[in-house]
Amino acid sequence: MEVTLLVQAADDAFRILENARGQAVDLLDTATKLTSDTRLMEEKKFQAVFVGAQKKKSALQNFVVTFLLLFAFWALLSGKFDTFHLSLGVICSFIVALIGHDLLFANLRVGDMRVIVKRFFAYLPWHLYQIVVANFQVAYLALSPKMPISPKIMRFKTKLESDISWVTLANSITLTPGTITIDIEEGEFVVHALSEKLADDLDTGEMEDRVAHVFMEADHIYIQDVLDVSRIFAEFR
């Protein structure tokens, strides 16, 4: 009697597991289908951007964002909030934005701004920590009597794509004590490092990965996939 109950229970359990597995497979299938759809759409959007269909819209958007930024800068400088000075600020920001709306956001994809700014500010504490650590390392190199330095120039190809991310990475490297970016030649960084350890730290590529994350390059599609799938799973649950 007990044995048959046990067998039945095991059978039920197996059936439930099988059902769950089938559902999970279905779920994953739909998820992958949806992500491939979104990826297709993403690629189409890129194409549209490259073809220049959105050129006019992005120019207007750039203009508006530049204008708002400049006006905030004006309010910060001026500190006078009466109508006369604010209207002067509006006129001045408008003129400058008209002249230079293609300067500030020349190579940025439209619509990514808010994420980039958020991620950039999240990147700063990590970079500050990195600077502090490197400071101690360089102080050790300078203070120890043997002076165990081994200056070297290293070259590495970067996976970053746009000029602003190259510049961010180059300045991050230069700001970190012990390493200096000498030049960027066609996406190849030429970096001077003070010691083997500092060069190795840079060679792990963590800084590059983080900059790529900030500007949503190289691993952008991958992150987008994960975000999409998580949203779909939340909906099913």
156: contact with another protein by CB under 8 A: no
Sketch the per residue contact string, 3 through 42, with another protein: x for CB under 8 A, - otherwise. ----------------------------------------
Q: Are 191 and 220 in contact (CB under 8 A)?
A: no
Q: Which of 22, 55, 100, 118 binds another protein (CB under 8 A)?
A: 100
| DSSP letter, residue 184 | E
Q: Are 187 and 173 in contact (CB under 8 A)?
A: no
Q: Which stretch binds another protein (CB under 8 A): 7-15, 101-109, 129-137, 219-227?
A: 101-109
86: contact with another protein by CB under 8 A: no
Sketch the per residue contact string, 182 through 211, with another protein: x for CB under 8 A, - otherwise. -xx---------------------------
Q: What is the amino acid identity at position 81?
A: F
Q: What is the amino acid identity at position 126?
A: W
Question: Cβ contacts of residue 87 below 8 Å, gap of 6+?
Answer: none
DSSP per-residue letters across 122-142: HHHHHHHHHHHHHHHHHHHHH
112: contact with another protein by CB under 8 A: no
At residue 205, the 3 state secondary structure works out as: coil
> Min. distance of Cβ 113 from another protein in angstroms?
14
Q: Which of 66, 137, 172, 179 binds another protein (CB under 8 A)?
A: 66
142: contact with another protein by CB under 8 A: no
Residue at token pair 């599609």? 221
Q: What are the residues facing 42 on neighbouring strands? A: none
Taking residue 165's Cβ as centre, other Cβ atoms within 10 Å add up to 23
171: contact with another protein by CB under 8 A: yes
Instruction: State the residues that interact with another protein by CB under 8 A.
Output: 66, 70, 73-74, 77-78, 80, 85, 88, 92-93, 95-97, 99-100, 103-104, 106, 163-164, 166-167, 170-171, 181, 183-184
